[in-house]
């Protein structure tokens, strides 16, 4: 898998607070949540801590595979990352999440969104 560009890494590092994570259920109904406990993983994916997922966790456990992560930079430039989801309750990715997730949050699991596409506005950049 190729790594994302330095421009996207810089944008991620300069994002404004929360990201928006979107999944869908079996009927194709979207569910979007704000997530603040997030981290880039090896420039190949985004880890989101499952601290308080409910419908999102249901969508994952019901076999849905694709997610979208939307974020905006301090310069008001929007980015959307799309990719396949992996849900980890142990192992390297889970341990990575536990290393940065604030102790006040439960950190039930780590959701990895493996980057397959990146958009800035309507422009596909990856």
User: 105 with 37: CB under 8 angstroms?
Assistant: yes
Per the domain annotation, does 1 fall within a domain?
A: no
Structure tokens at 23: 């999944």
Range of the domain at 112: 6-124
According to the model, what pLDDT value does residue 87 have?
A: 97
User: Could you tell me if residue 83 is inside a domain?
Assistant: yes
Asked whether residue 47 is domain-assigned, the answer is yes
Q: In whole angstroms, what is the distance from residue 34 CA to residue 21 CA?
A: 6
E strand segments, 25-90: 30-35, 38-41, 45-50, 66-72, 78-88
Give how many domains the chain has, as a whole number. 1
Q: Is the pLDDT of residue 2 over 70?
A: no
Would 109 be classed as within a structural domain?
yes
Q: What is the pTM of this model?
A: 0.93
Instruction: Give the CATH number of the domain where residue 68 resides.
Output: 2.30.110.10
For residue 1, the model assigns a pLDDT of: 58
Q: Is 86 domain-assigned?
A: yes
25-69 pLDDT, tens digit each? 999 999 999 999 999 999 889 999 999 999 999 999 999 999 999
Q: Give residue 17's pLDDT.
A: 86
In a domain, 33, yes or no: yes
Tell me the pLDDT tens digit for each residue of 92-123: 999 999 999 999 999 999 999 999 999 998 99
Q: Does residue 11 lie in a domain region? A: yes
């Amino acid at each position: 898998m190729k790594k994302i560009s330095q421009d996207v890494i810089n944008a991620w590092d300069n994002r404004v607070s929360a990201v928006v994570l979107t999944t869908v259920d079996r009927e194709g109904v979207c569910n979007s949540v704000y997530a603040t406990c997030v981290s880039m993983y090896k420039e190949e994916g985004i880890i989101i801590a499952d601290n308080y997922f409910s419908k999102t966790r249901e969508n994952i456990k019901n076999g849905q595979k694709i997610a979208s992560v939307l974020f905006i930079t301090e310069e008001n430039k929007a980015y959307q990352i799309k990719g396949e989801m992996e849900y980890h309750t142990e192992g390297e990715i889970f341990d990575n999440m536990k290393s940065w997730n604030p102790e006040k949050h439960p950190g039930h699991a780590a959701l990895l969104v493996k980057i397959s596409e990146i958009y800035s506005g309507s422009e596909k950049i990856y």
